[in-house]
Structure 1
Amino acid sequence: MAVVRQLMGLPISVDIRDGELRHAEQVFQWLHEVDLRFSPFREDSEVTRLGRGELRANEISGDLRHVLSLCETYEQRSGGAFKARLPGRHLDPNAIVKGWAVQRASSMLREMGLRRFCINAGGDVVTAGEPTDGQPWRVGIRHPDNGTQLTAVLGVRDGAVATSAAYERGHHIIDGRTGLPALGLLSMTVYAADLTTADATATAAFAMGADGPEWAAAQPGCMVHAVDSRYRVFVSPELPVLG
């Protein structure tokens, strides 16, 4: 059973092999709640209200406090290339929120007893088990110049894959050290055990530019596939690329 909905400004699919429609609906309900609370584009969201100074740090939810803590962690790890609050811009923790929220949805399904599913949030994917016995979930990495071609296909079991790139939204990722668009990479894909780690690491690495792939590959539990602006490809030897 696979269901697709438009949420958080992108298509989200829930493919469940050992559950029911109600399980997918609970995922979408959670992600809708996250969008209402965390979107920097909603005037009444918790994130927007905090950014405007209407909420104090001791008045925000535990979830937002956790997300902001993750933002601080990746800002420190990336040497400031990743930032949730850039000079002259509103607070925007979206680079952490999506991966965190979808990973939480995966945990919800596991708590319900499901063991075979895949959630795909605009190309950022978290998986559990296998779709059929003996076969991994197949996760494609898009060619940075051609949406009809793949540069690689990963075989994923109980893992997550996230990609940051310029091909969908242009150079929207900013290098927090300079305040300018990050230009050194065309795509940055990270494979990790959970989507929170994969998504945050991919975004931070893309913001770092040419130094990003090596930095990301050195992060605990992370493997990478990256294409730089000169079309050179960096691949971790252990990455589960299918032949």
Structure 2
Amino acid sequence: MNVPRGAWVEQVMGMPVSVHLRGVTLPPWRPAFLDEVFAELHRIDALMSTYRPDSQISRLAAGELTVAECDPLIGEVLELCEQARTKTGGAFDPLLPAPGGDYLLDPSGLVKGWAVERVAHRIGECFDGDYYINAGGDIAVESRSGVAWRIGVEDPRPGGGLLGVLPLTGGGVATSGTAHRGAHIVDPRTGRPADGLLSVTVTGPSLTWVDVLATAAFACGPESFDWLAGLDSHAALLVHPDGTTAVTSAMATLIQPVSSAHQREDIR
């Protein structure tokens, strides 16, 4: 039996964001709840984009607003950022060193994964089938049927194809690296662009936290492997500048070689 499936894409947060649905109750037209999903992502972008001088996060950083004057979502994100800073020992920090001894407020390393996970919960409330949402490689997954979505892990080297396939029925997967945006991740401990790895892919129960972990691990470089390997319910893959890889034991159990994929990968 061919199960109906569909995909819809909008440009949000400076990137294509795609929602993929699969299930016998999926109508042949775009479900109305997707309007709400994409509208919420646009709202979050308007509030929290550091590229918009009129966003509340930019105005907060400039001293034009207090947290109390901001949308409650700003306070929620800042609290999560503080939790992330503590959990990663400072490898993730929304306060980045800036010229002149100042600091720049930039919670972007958490916002995208958090926003995608937030709207993924809304999809789950409105649709009883399987779904995933992909925002620039930050992916929230749910399969109520038990049929795994097959997530391709990209080789960050030019023309590298896929490193493997992750069969997932829930949770999130995030990749941080230089493949698409160059050296955009800063090590908050030094204020310099991180360059010890080409990419880090992490999967686990919460997209918000795997996004944080991937960002923090990339900032730390190869030394992050040991603490990633010690995390329960998470799996990680690191790609070194020479193209060699390091996988945690959980990732070694999970990842499949591309040659064993019986169908096309759902995400590349």
- Say yes or no: TM over 0.5: yes
Query: What is the aligned partner in structure 1 of residue 41 from structure 2?
Result: 31
Partner of residue 179, structure 1: 191
Alpha-carbon distance between aligned partners in 1 of 2:149 and 2:158, rounded to the nearest angstrom: 23
Instruction: Give the TM-score normalised by the residue count of structure 2.
Output: 0.84
Higher Rg: 2
Q: TM-score, normalised by structure 1?
A: 0.92
Q: Pick which of 230-239 and 4-13 moved more.
A: 230-239
In 2: Cα distance, 1:144 partner to 1:32 partner: 28
SS in 2 for 1:90: strand
Range moving further from structure 2, 33-42 or 231-240: 231-240
Amino acid at match of 1:48: S
- Look up the match of 1:201: 213
In the alignment, the residues of structure 2 paired with residue 47 and residue 219 of structure 1 have an alpha-carbon distance, to the nearest angstrom, of 31
What CA distance in whole angstroms lies between the structure 2 residues aligned with 1:159 and 1:58? 32
8 Å CA contact 2:171, 2:203 repeated in 1: yes
Residue aligning to 1:146: 158
Of stretches 77-86 and 159-168 in structure 1, the one that deviates more from structure 2 is: 77-86
Letter of the aligned partner of 1:72 in structure 2? E
- The CA RMSD over aligned residues, in Å, is 1.7
Aligned partner of 1:13 in structure 2 is 18
Tell me the residue number matched to 1:124. 138
Letter of the structure 2 residue corresponding to residue 4 of structure 1: V
State the secondary structure of the residue aligned to 1:238: helix
1:168 aligns with 2:188: no
- Counterpart CA distance in 2 for 1:30 and 1:136 is 27
Alignment correspondent of 1:102:
116
Distance 1:50 1:220 in 2: 36
Match of 2:266 in 1: none
Aligned partner of 1:233 in structure 2 is: 245
Name the SS of the counterpart of 2:165 in structure 1: strand
Where in structure 2 are there 5+ consecutive unaligned residues? Answer: 1-5, 261-268
Matched, 1:189 2:215: no
Residue-by-residue CA offset, 1:58-84 (whole Å, 9 max, x unaligned): 323321112111212222233322221
The answer on whether the counterparts of 2:199 and 2:238 sit within 8 Å (CA) in structure 1 is yes
**Deviation larger for 4-13 or 62-71:** 62-71
**Structure-1 residue corresponding to 2:263:** none
The Cα of 1:148 is off from its aligned counterpart by: 5.3
Alignment correspondent of 1:55: 65
How many pairs does the alignment contain? 241
- 1:2 aligned counterpart, secondary structure: strand
Gaps of 5+ in 1: none
